[in-house]
Amino acid sequence: MTRENWTSSIGFILASAGSAIGLGNIWKFPYMAGENGGGTFVLVYVLCVAFIGLPVMCAEMLIGRHTRRNIINAMGKVERLSGSVGARFVLSTLSAGMAVAFATMEAWLPVALALAGVFLFAKKGFSVLGWVCTVVALAILSYYAVIGGWIVEYIRLALTGTLVPEAAGGVAAVEVAKTSQTAFAAYVASPWRVLWGFGVFMAVTGAMLLGGIRAGIERMSKILMPLLFVLLLVVIARSVTLPGAGEGIAFLLRPTLDAFTPKVVLMALGQVFFSLSLGMAITVTYGSYLHKEHNILRAAGWVGVLDTCAALLAGLAIFPAVFAVGLSPSAGPGLIFGALPAVFDTMWWGPFWAACFFFMLFIAAVTSSVALLECGATVFIERLRRGHKRGSRRTAVLIGFALCTLMGLLSVFSTADWGHLPWLGRAAEACMGDLYRGNWLDTLDNFASNWCLPFTALSTALLVGWAWTPRRAAPELLAAGEDWRALPALWGFLVRWVSPVGILLVFLYVSGFLGL
Ligand code: PFF
C-alpha cells in the first residue's frame, strides 16, 4: 500500500506546528498559568518542554518514520523489533502503579481502566498503548471541539458588533470585562446556543480531513500559521499599552518560590504534552508520512520553539489586559472570553480586530482538531483497508467524527452545571474521586491531559530509551549523510533517563508517595 508523504521539510514542520499550536497555547496555557502561579508555571513549563517534551517528540517522530504505520501497528512493530521480552511487563507494572495511585485518589473509573491495562498490556503489549493514545486523542477532540464552538460564536458576536454587550457601550474597561465575563457564563450555561458552534467546528474538521494529507492539512498550514503570529502581535501591542499592564507582564514572567508545588509541576507537564501534541498518536502519525531525508532533531526543535513562542505570546497578549481591567488571573477556562472583549473594546476598529483574533484562534484550533481526528482516521483507514483495495478515508473520518460528536455533546450540555445531565454529574462524582472537577469538560480534561498523556509519553520514552535503545534509534534522527555528534547522544540520555525519571517523580509526588 502506498502512503502519502509530506512534500517538504518545511511542510512537515508547519503542519506539525499547526497541530501543536492551538487552543492549548492560546486558550489553555494562559488560564493554566493564571491558576498555577504565573511566572513559576511558565518557568517549569519551559524546562519541561526542553528536557521532557522535546526528547519524547523526537522519539514519537522516529517511531512513525521508522515503521511508516498507524500508531497501533507502529508501537507493536517497535516492540517486536527491539526484541525485548520485558518491555510489555514494564508497561503492565506501570499500569498497576497507576491503578494504585488512582485508588489513593478514590478515582474508581481510572482504577478500573488501569487494571484492564495491566492485563491487556501483558497480553498484547505496546499495540494496546497505541489504542490508548488513539482513544485519548478522540476524547480530547470531543471537548476541544466544544471550545472551538465557543470561538465560532465569538466570531459571530464580533462580526455582528455584539461582542461587548450593548449596555456596556462607552463605559470603563473594568466594567466591560465584568459584563463580558457574565455574558460568557450565561452563554456556556445555554447548551442550545453552544450547540451550533460546536456543530460548525466539527463539520469543518471533518471536511478538512476528507481532503487528505497534502491537499488539506499541509496547504492550509502553510498559509495560515504565519498569519496567526502576526495577529497575536497586533493584540499584544494593544494589550501591553493599556494602563496598568505592567503588573500582568510581571505576573507572567517573574517566578516566585512559594508558588512552586508538585501540583504546578504536574499541571505544567500535562500542559507540555497537550500543547506539543504528544502521547496522542499524532506525532507518530505525522512522522509516518515523513521521508527519510528529513532531519528529525531539527524538525522537533522548530516545532518546540514555535509552540512555546506561541504560548508565551498568548500570555503576553492576555495577562497585561487581565490585570489592566482588574480581572482575576485564575478565572479558569473563561479567562480569554472575559478579558479580551474588554481589550478590543478599547481599540480603534475594535470589532474588526476582535473578529480577526477569534478567526485566528479558529484557525489554530482547526489545524489541531484536524490532527486529532487524523489520529483516529489513520487507525480506522488502515484497519478497515485490510483485504480491500479501495481506500476508505471517508468511512474512517465518519466513524471518528460520530464518536467525537456524541462524546462532545456531554461537554456541551454540562459546561455550566449538571442541570441538563444530572446522571452524568452523579456518575462523574462517584467514579472520578479527586480527579473530579465541577463539570464534564474539566473532569475529562484533567484526567486525559494530566494523567493519560504523561502515562503514554512515559511508556513511549521507556520503549524507545530502553527497549529499542538510543544506540539503534539515534542514527535515524538525522537525514542521510549527516553527522552530528553531540545532539543525538544528548537526546539518547534525555529519553533514557531525564524524561522517564522526571515523569515518574511527578506522578509519585502528586499521588503522595513522595513528600516534598
Ligand atoms: N496541541 C494542541 C493544542 O495545543 O491546542 C492540541 C492537540 C492537537 C493535541 C492535536 C493533540 C493533537 F493531536
Distance from the alpha carbon of residue 346 to the mean position of ligand 1, in angstroms? 32
Helices 350-384 and 335-345, axial angle in degrees (round to 10): 150
Closest ligand 1 atom, residue 372 Cα = 13
Residue with cell 512522522: 287
User: Tens digit of pLDDT for each residue in 434-458?
Assistant: 999 989 999 999 999 999 999 999 9
Provide mean pLDDT across the span 69-93. Answer: 92
Residue with cell 509519585: 508
Provide mean pLDDT across the span 406-424. Answer: 92
Amino acid 8: pLDDT: 78
Provide mean pLDDT across the span 335-350. Answer: 86
Whether the CB of 443 sits within 6 Å of ligand 1: no
Report percent pLDDT > 70 for the chain: 93
Distance from the alpha carbon of residue 353 to the mean position of ligand 1, in angstroms? 25
> pLDDT-based confidence at 1, cuts 50/70/90?
very low
Residue with cell 497505541: 130
| Contact (CB, 8 A) for 298 and 262 | no
Domain-by-domain residue ranges, the chain?
A: 9-434
Distance from the alpha carbon of residue 372 to the mean position of ligand 1, in angstroms? 7
d(CA 501, CA 494): 10
Helices 453-462 and 126-159, axial angle in degrees (round to 10): 140
Ligand 1 pocket, mutate which of 25, 140, 452 (most atoms under 8 A from CB): 140
Q: Which residue has the higher pLDDT, 339 or 172?
A: 339
Measuring CA to CA, which residue among 44, 51, 24, 57 is closest to residue 315?
Answer: 24
Q: H-type helices in 83-190, by residue range? A: 87-104, 108-124, 126-159, 173-188
Q: Which SS3 state, helix, strand or coil, does residue 232 take?
A: helix
Q: Is residue 153 predicted with pLDDT exceeding 80? A: yes
Ligand 1 pocket, mutate which of 144, 208, 209, 285 (most atoms under 8 A from CB): 144
> pLDDT-based confidence at 83, cuts 50/70/90?
confident
Closest ligand 1 atom, residue 375 Cα = 13
Distance from the alpha carbon of residue 364 to the mean position of ligand 1, in angstroms? 10
Whether the CB of 231 sits within 6 Å of ligand 1: no
Whether the CB of 282 sits within 6 Å of ligand 1: yes
Provide mean pLDDT across the span 68-78. Answer: 92
| Contact (CB, 8 A) for 245 and 339 | no
Task: Output the residue whose Cα is nearest ligand 1's atom 7.
Answer: 277
Amino acid 217: pLDDT: 59
Side-chain half-sphere CA neighbours of 22 within 13 A: 29
Distances (CA, A) of 171 to 177, 344, 352, 438: 10, 13, 19, 33
Q: Is residue 213 predicted with pLDDT exceeding 70? A: no
Measuring CA to CA, which residue among 453, 504, 505, 430 is closest to residue 28?
Answer: 453
Amino acid 460: pLDDT: 97
Distances (CA, A) of 317 to 126, 185, 233, 388: 41, 22, 8, 51
Closest ligand 1 atom, residue 365 Cα = 5
Closest ligand 1 atom, residue 282 Cα = 13
| Contact (CB, 8 A) for 199 and 401 | no
Closest ligand 1 atom, residue 368 Cα = 8
| Contact (CB, 8 A) for 464 and 63 | yes
- Residues recorded for the chain: 516
Q: Which SS3 state, helix, strand or coil, does residue 127 take?
A: helix
Q: Report the amino acid identity of residue 426.
A: R
d(CA 141, CA 203): 13
Residue 86's φ and ψ, nearest 5 degrees, are -80, -15
Most confident residue range from 100-104, 167-171, 262-266 = 100-104
Amino acid 227: pLDDT: 81
d(CA 503, CA 497): 10
Whether the CB of 18 sits within 6 Å of ligand 1: no
Amino acid 231: pLDDT: 84
Whether the CB of 19 sits within 6 Å of ligand 1: yes
Measuring CA to CA, which residue among 335, 27, 349 is closest to residue 159?
Answer: 349
Task: Output the residue whose Cα is nearest ligand 1's atom 8.
Answer: 368
Ligand 1 pocket, mutate which of 201, 273, 368, 379 (most atoms under 8 A from CB): 368
d(CA 133, CA 205): 20
> pLDDT-based confidence at 220, cuts 50/70/90?
low
> pLDDT-based confidence at 481, cuts 50/70/90?
confident
Whether the CB of 367 sits within 6 Å of ligand 1: no
Whether the CB of 70 sits within 6 Å of ligand 1: no
Q: Report the amino acid identity of residue 116.
A: A
Among 167-171, 290-294, 317-321, 379-383, name the one with the lowest average pLDDT. 167-171
Whether the CB of 137 sits within 6 Å of ligand 1: yes
Helices 296-324 and 54-67, axial angle in degrees (round to 10): 140
Ligand 1 pocket, mutate which of 31, 60, 273, 275 (most atoms under 8 A from CB): 275
Whether the CB of 139 sits within 6 Å of ligand 1: no
Q: Which SS3 state, helix, strand or coil, does residue 69 take?
A: coil
C-alpha grid cell for residue 152? Answer: 465560532
Residue with cell 480530547: 140
Q: Is residue 390 predicted with pLDDT exceeding 60? A: no
> pLDDT-based confidence at 386, cuts 50/70/90?
low
Report percent pLDDT > 90 for the chain: 61
**Cβ-Cβ contacts under 8 Å for 382 (sequence gap 6 or more):** 1, 69, 70, 73
d(CA 441, CA 508): 25
Measuring CA to CA, which residue among 372, 368, 337, 344 is closest to residue 231?
Answer: 344
Distance from the alpha carbon of residue 366 to the mean position of ligand 1, in angstroms? 10
Closest ligand 1 atom, residue 275 Cα = 4
Distance from the alpha carbon of residue 20 to the mean position of ligand 1, in angstroms? 5
Amino acid 14: pLDDT: 80
Q: For the chain, how long is the longest CA-to-CA vector?
A: 70
d(CA 339, CA 89): 49
Amino acid 290: pLDDT: 85
Whether the CB of 24 sits within 6 Å of ligand 1: yes
User: In angstroms, how far is the first alpha carbon of the chain from the final one?
Assistant: 53
Task: Output the residue whose Cα is nearest ligand 1's atom 11.
Answer: 277
Side-chain half-sphere CA neighbours of 451 within 13 A: 25
Whole-number average pLDDT of the chain: 89
Distance from the alpha carbon of residue 210 to the mean position of ligand 1, in angstroms? 19
Q: H-type helices in 160-172, by residue range? A: none
Task: Output the residue whose Cα is nearest ligand 1's atom 9.
Answer: 277
Residue 295: Cβ-neighbour burial (10 angstroms; 0-12, 13-18, 19+): middle
Q: Is residue 210 predicted with pLDDT exceeding 90? A: no
| Contact (CB, 8 A) for 30 and 336 | yes
Amino acid 388: pLDDT: 55
d(CA 79, CA 467): 7
Provide mean pLDDT across the span 481-500. Answer: 90
d(CA 434, CA 429): 9
Whether the CB of 275 sits within 6 Å of ligand 1: yes
Residue with cell 500542559: 271
Q: Write the CATH number of the domain with boundaries 9-434.
A: 1.10.4160
d(CA 5, CA 214): 8
User: Tens digit of pLDDT for each residue in 27-57?
Assistant: 999 999 999 999 999 999 999 999 999 999 9
pTM for the whole structure: 0.93
d(CA 420, CA 197): 19
Distance from the alpha carbon of residue 355 to the mean position of ligand 1, in angstroms? 23
Measuring CA to CA, which residue among 275, 338, 262, 288 is closest to residue 516?
Answer: 262
Whether the CB of 25 sits within 6 Å of ligand 1: yes
